[in-house]
Amino acid sequence: MNELRISLVQAGIFWEDKNRNIEHYGNLLKGLSGKSDLAVLPEMFSTGFSMEASHLAETNEGTTVQTIHSWAKEYQLAVYGSFLAKDDSNRIFNRGFFIDPDGNEWFYDKRHLFRMGMEQKRFVAGNHRLTVPYKGWNIRLIICYDLRFPVWIRNRKNEYDVLVCSANWPAVRTNVWQTLLVARALENQCYVCGVNRIGEDGQQIKHQGESVLIDFKGNRMLESVLNEESVITGILRKSPLDDFRKKFPAWMDADEFEII
């Protein structure tokens, strides 16, 4: 498939109020039915970035994931974001989900836990990179703080076409957010989608959104309005990306390495 319609769902998050958040984001997705292929939500969309909400964690078979399955099927689009997850041993994860309209599901546990927010004291870090094949595109999933670590994200031999980042990125570091998203697009010769929340969280940390879609040359294709709830959709095209990689094959000179 040459085109991929991708929607940036930028909204606030009700602090540790899972039911209210699920209802709100479900309503936002209704308008995308038949108009998008992939909707991207902010990090920990159903609870907010809380380190004290382990009582709200669910397994992959819980209500949150099952609700996302119903959204994907009803609105005929894939949904990506992250939620507060636990395994059978009650270990806690900041877990990314990618669920498509056919019921296929993929899960990615955030690799780089945000030390300054004590995330590493509450959650277990992931150790597997994940690229999802969807509609003829290869999509790499990351979560917020992962964006700072280019080795983890390195696009070896064009193994992915789109890098998607679900985030709770504070307004005070907005310049870092903007800069790193462009850098990841340029160095990996790929499209980049970053979706961030808005509003103040339960720790009085402010977020202003700045969700954005960037092309493989570092150009902003689409960007949300600061501090406003919005659902905006852009179209990615595969052939220009393929042509650019052939015309300017910097990826062929990339250093080989292994992550251990």
Average pLDDT of the segment spanning 228-251: 96
Question: Which of 16-25, 45-54, 74-83, 104-113 has the least mean pLDDT?
Answer: 45-54
| Continuous segment of H or E residues that includes residue 20 | helix 18-30
Three-state SS at 239: helix
Q: Is 159 among the residues known to form the active site? A: no
The CATH number for 40's domain is 3.60.110.10
Q: Is 206 among the residues known to form the active site? A: no
Residue at 113 is within a domain? yes
**HEC string of 172-209?**
HHHHHHHHHHHHHHHHHCCEEEEEECEEECCCCCEEEC
Q: Are 87 and 59 in contact (CB under 8 A)?
A: yes
Backbone phi, psi, residue 173, to 5°: -115, 35
Of the candidates 86, 144, 190, 223, the residue annotated as catalytic is 144
Of the candidates 16, 18, 86, 110, the residue annotated as catalytic is 110
Q: What is the pLDDT of residue 252?
A: 83
Tell me the pLDDT tens digit for each residue of 28-39.
999 999 999 999
pTM of the model: 0.96
Mean pLDDT of the chain: 96
Q: Is 43 among the residues known to form the active site? A: yes
Residue at 9 is within a domain? yes
Residue at 256 is within a domain? no
Residue at 241 is within a domain? yes
Residue at 162 is within a domain? yes
Residue at 258 is within a domain? no
> Number of folded domains in the chain?
1
Of the candidates 43, 119, 210, 223, the residue annotated as catalytic is 43
* Residue 14, domain extent: 3-250
Tell me the pLDDT tens digit for each residue of 164-214.
999 999 999 999 999 999 999 999 999 999 999 999 999 999 999 999 999
Best CA proximity match to 25, nearest among 5, 1, 8: 8
Residue at 257 is within a domain? no
Q: What is the pLDDT of residue 53?
A: 82
